[in-house]
Amino acid sequence: MFHPQGPTFCELAHQALSSTERGYDLLAPKFDYTPFRTPDSLLEFVAPRIGMPKSIDAGLDLCCGTGAGMKMLQPLCRERVVGVDFSQGMLRVARNTLADVAAEPKLEFIHGDVLELPFRNEFDIAVCFGALGHILPRDESRFTQQIKQALRPGGRFVFITASRPSRLSLVYWLARGFNAAMYVRNTFVKPPFIMYYLTFLLPAAAKLLEEHGFRAIVHENVFPKPFHQACVVVATREA
């Protein structure tokens, strides 16, 4: 549908009718041929906002999928890069895809839910790309608290988001239409597939982070078209 090696429409529909975990297990072998994988060319604009090569001890990629964020973090980190995802299929592809990157620092792949992270004061950086739509609004506070606990004091949570698009724009109504379809699907088909657009947007996301003891800085005009509306948020866990 998106690429000759990508999923067909029927495969995508099958995936969307599965649970979120199972849907990503099914999609995993073809995920890198979809627009859902955060492009390396986009993350090249994020890396300089995080730091110089080997300037960070430990980095965490939340909802790592096939490893886009881990690949970006690896050259920046000295000791550890950890990816967490609840799809074993996505983790398997990440392991294979990243098998050839430099041996140091070592990469760790953890099967788990980002709403139940097993880490305490362990990371200098946590990133989350292309996955904030999988966190329901009612779980955003818990998600933020999990990230805070995983970071050391002074550690930073870095993610890409945007402001709410204008109600007069096509993108706004396409997103609302998708969300309505997903709401109907999740009302009638169990288990749910959790994926909604227009979540964790500015300024609400920055306010939530500040309520949890982060200081959030929003970097605008970071990306070229067609991603120029997106911003990088760097939220520092205050000591």
Ligand X SMILES: C[S@@+](CC[C@H](N)C(=O)[O-])C[C@H]1O[C@@H](n2cnc3c(N)ncnc32)[C@H](O)[C@@H]1O
The residues binding ligand X (CB under 6 A) are 20, 24, 36-38, 63-65, 68-69, 84-87, 90, 113-115, 129-131, 134
Minimum CB distance to ligand X, residue 236 (Å)? 21
Across the beta sheet with 214-219, the strand order is 106-111, 77-85, 56-62, 123-128, 151-161, 231-237, 214-219
Q: Which is nearer to ligand X, 38 or 236 (CB)?
A: 38
Q: How many CA atoms lie within 13 A of 114 on its CB side?
A: 30
Cα 145 to Cα 38, 65, 69, 220, 232: the distances in Å are 24, 21, 21, 25, 20
30-64: string of b/e by CB count within 10 Å (b at 16+)? bbbeeebebeeebbebbbeebbeeeebbbbbbbbb
Q: Which is nearer to ligand X, 77 or 90 (CB)?
A: 90
Minimum CB distance to ligand X, residue 162 (Å)? 15
Q: Which is nearer to ligand X, 101 or 210 (CB)?
A: 101
Minimum CB distance to ligand X, residue 239 (Å)? 28
Which residue's C-beta sits nearest to ligand X?
A: 65
* Whole-angstrom distance, CA of residue 4 vs CA of residue 154: 45
Q: Which is nearer to ligand X, 63 or 205 (CB)?
A: 63
Minimum CB distance to ligand X, residue 193 (Å)? 10
Minimum CB distance to ligand X, residue 202 (Å)? 19
> Which is nearest to 25 in space by CA: 65, 61, 62?
65
Minimum CB distance to ligand X, residue 87 (Å)? 4
Q: Which is nearer to ligand X, 134 or 156 (CB)?
A: 134
Residues 59, 83, 121, 222, Cα dihedral to 10°:
40
Q: Which is nearer to ligand X, 123 or 129 (CB)?
A: 129
